[in-house]
Structure 1
Amino acid sequence: MSQDLIAAKRYAKALFDVARESDRVAQVEQELGKVIAVLNENPDLFKLIKHPGIEADVKIGLIKQIFDADVSEVVINTLKLLIQRRREETLEAFAKAYSKIASDALGQASATVYTPVELSEAELGTIAETFGKLTGKQIRVESVLDKGLLGGIQVRIGDRLYDGSLAGKLERLHKTLNQSQAL
């Protein structure tokens, strides 16, 4: 694990502890998501924030100017700390680490659903409910269109992949047939 990732997780844990004390875990997660979304939508701004040749005070001024109205003081102060400690490169990893810690604490998990066709909100709701029962967590579903799938569905929750795709079923059938022939 890289030093940047380790540092990102430490900062995320520290922010989580502060957010939990003030009962704002979900709010801080949303605010971090908003910050990362704005930075990703404006790649030049993100490059500027990450650039090692630009003074920390200039970067902090930009962060305050852009996010002060939409983001709580605790998030601004954490971003300030990351910049002062030259950890700007870890912003995305930091936000992901915080999201994971917060989701675990709130009994939530994110699922990415891969399908060859667009799913309705009702179908996504059914998937969330089914996998919620399976994992014991409240599932947030993100749908991804994957034209490479012949049919069926794949669901990724964390590091685990639930493969109900046609290709996955054929592969399992192939393995089963090969095993039965070996006997």
Structure 2
Amino acid sequence: MSQSVAAKRYALALFELAQKNGQTGPIQEDLLELKKVFQSNKELGQLLDSPRLKAAKKKELMADLFKGANQLVLNTLFVMLDKKRMNEVVHLVDEFTVFTNDAAGIADAKVYSTHPLTADQSQAISAAFAHKIGKKALRIENIIDPNLIGGIRLQIGNIIYDSSVSAKLERLKRDLIGS
């Protein structure tokens, strides 16, 4: 989650419009693609921040680049461009995701394991841990970490559940050695 107040405001406004128009899902998909574009093309952000390019030309460029995107997303980008907030686009996406997850009762979780999780394993983990944090489900991102030796480590926000073999060995070592 971002610490940007401006990004949170833009995300909330976009989220409320998306809900009002019943377009939360499609807008979130567009925003996630937008985030990928801005993260992988730093030059785009620099170009949109450049004072050498007129605002109208920047809007024309964005309209061409994101012509398949939802109009609400494009309008939000245009407002952010006018307010010189294009550096907040990635944060806007993160904040929008937080709003949509909260509305749907979903939390994002990272599951570290030694091998890829099956769909059944992901579902079981989601069912087991979602109620612990007061959510309906978890959206799981599986990260492979061979250093765990076995078991899993689950991170939901700033909460970590660690049942990995390496963590258990480390606790045993601390208990035996005392440090």
Which has the larger displacement, 36-45 or 10-19?
36-45
Correspondence list, 1:91-110, <5 A: 91-110=89-108
Q: Residue 40 of structure 1 aligns with which residue?
A: 39
Counterpart position of 1:168: 167
1:29-50 CA distance string (max 9 Å, x none): 1111121123334443344234
The 3 A distance-change label for structure 1 pair 154 and 55 is: farther
Structure 1 SS opposite 2:146: coil
Percent sequence identity over aligned pairs: 31
The one-letter code matched in structure 1 to 2:122 is L
In structure 2, distance between residues paired with 1:147 and 1:11: 40
Unaligned runs of 5+ in 1: none
The 1:52/1:131 distance shift into structure 2, 3 A limit, reads: farther
Matched residue SS, 1:31:
helix
Partner Cα separation in structure 2 for residue 99 and residue 160 of structure 1: 18
2:106 and 2:137 in contact (8 A); partners too: yes
Please list the CA deviations of residues 17-63 of structure 1 after superposition, one character each: whole Å capped at 9, or x if unmatched: 21122222222211111211233344433442344543332222121
The gaps in structure 2 that reach 5 residues or longer are: none
1:161, distance to aligned residue in structure 2 (A): 1.2
Amino acid at match of 1:96: D
1:54 aligned partner, one-letter code: L
Q: For residue 13 of structure 2, what is the aligned residue in structure 1? A: 14
TM-score (normalised: structure 1): 0.83
C-alpha contact 2:11 2:92 (8 A) present in aligned 1: yes
TM-score, with structure 2 as normaliser: 0.84
Asked if the contact 2:111–2:141 (Cα under 8 Å) also holds between the matched residues in 1, the reply is: yes
CA contact (8 A) 2:7 2:91 kept: yes
More moved, 13-22 vs 46-55: 46-55
From 60, 70, 73, the equivalent of 1:72 is 70
Which whole-Å CA distance do the structure 2 matches of 1:147 and 1:84 have between them? 47
- What SS is found at the alignment partner of 1:148? helix
Q: Which amino acid counterpart does residue 89 of structure 1 have in structure 2?
A: N
**Residue number in structure 2 paired with 1:54:** 53
2:40 and 2:61 mapped to 1: Cα distance? 16
User: Partner of 1:154: helix, strand, or coil?
Assistant: strand
